[in-house]
Amino acid sequence: MTERPTEQSFTSRDALLTEMRNGESLDWDIIVVGGGITGAGVLREAVRRGYRVLLVEQQDFSWGTSSRSSKMVHGGLRYLASGDLQLTKHSLLERERLLNEAPGLVDRIAFYFTLGKGLFPGRWALSIILSLYDLLAGIRDHRYCKNSALAQRFPGINLSNLKGACSYTDAMVDDSRLVLRVLHESIAAGGSALNYVKVDSLLIEQDTVVGARIKAEELHETIELRAPVVISATGAWADRLRNQLNPEMRVRPLRGSHIIIPRQHCPVTDVLTALHPDDKRGVYIYPWEGTTVLGTTDLDHTEDLDTEACITEGETQYLLKAFNTLFPNNPLQQSDVISTWAGVRPVIASENSKDPSKERRNHAVWSDAGLITVSGGKLTTFRLIALDALAVAQPLLPEAQPFTHDRVFATPTTDAKTLVPNNPAWGQRLLGRYGDMARTMLATGGNQEHSLIGDTEFCLAECRWAARHESVQHLDDLLLRRTRLGMCLVNGGEAIFPEIKAICCAELGWTDTLWDAELARYKTIWKQFYFFGINP
Q: pTM of the predicted model, to two decimals?
A: 0.96
231 and 375 together in one domain: yes
Clarify whether residues 272 and 228 are in a common domain. no
Cite the beta strand spans of 12-70 per DSSP E: 30-33, 53-57
DSSP annotation of 218 reads: T
Collapsing DSSP to helix, strand or coil, 11 comes out as coil
Residue 325 sits in the same domain as residue 458? no
**What is the predicted pLDDT for the residue at 46?**
98
Residues 196 and 343 in one domain: no
pLDDT at position 8: 58
In a shared domain, residues 456 and 506: yes
Are residues 310 and 374 located together in one domain of the fold? no
Q: What is the pLDDT of residue 84?
A: 82
Residue 517 lies in a domain: yes
> What is the CATH number for 53?
3.50.50.60
Q: Is 34 exposed, middle or buried (0-12, 13-18, 19+ CB in 10 A)?
A: buried
C-alpha separations of 520 from 109, 474, 514, 523, 525 in Å = 38, 11, 10, 5, 9
Could you tell me if residue 297 is inside a domain? yes
Decide if 278 is inside a domain: yes
User: Would you state the pLDDT for residue 231?
Assistant: 98
Q: Are strands 223-226 and 72-73 parallel, antiparallel or unpaired?
A: unpaired
Residue 161 maps to a domain? no
SS3 470: coil
Query: Is residue 488 situated within a structural domain?
Result: yes
Phi, psi angles (nearest 5°) of residue 321 = -65, -40
Predicted local confidence at residue 1, as pLDDT:
31
Q: What is the reported pLDDT for 351?
A: 62
**CA dist., res. 375 & res. 54, Å (int):** 19
Same domain? For 246 and 365 the reply is yes
Domain containing residue 303: CATH number: 3.30.9.10
Give one word for 535, left, alpha or beta, with left for phi > 0 and alpha for psi -120 to 50.
beta
- Examine the domain organization and report whether 344 and 365 are in the same domain: no
Average confidence (pLDDT) per 10 residues, the chain, 536 residues: 50 96 97 98 98 98 97 88 86 96 98 94 92 92 96 97 96 98 97 98 97 95 97 96 95 97 97 96 97 96 95 96 97 96 93 67 92 96 98 97 95 96 98 96 91 97 97 98 98 98 98 98 97 60
Q: How far is CA 371 from CA 92, 232, 306, in A?
A: 30, 7, 22
Spatial distance between the Cα atoms of 213 and 215, rounded to a whole number of angstroms: 7
Are residue 274 and residue 333 in the same domain, yes or no? yes
- Residue 208 sits at φ, ψ, to 5 deg, of -130, 135
| Edge-to-edge order in the sheet of strand 197-205 | 197-205, 208-216, 223-226
Is 270 in the same domain as 344? yes
pLDDT value at residue 7: 46
Residues with Cβ within 8 Å of 491's Cβ and at least 6 positions away in sequence, in order, are: none
What gap in Å lies between CA 473 and CA 178, rounded to an integer?
A: 19
Domains: count for the chain: 3
Domain with 515 in it: 446-529
* Same domain flag for 213 and 275: no
Per the domain annotation, does 55 fall within a domain?
yes
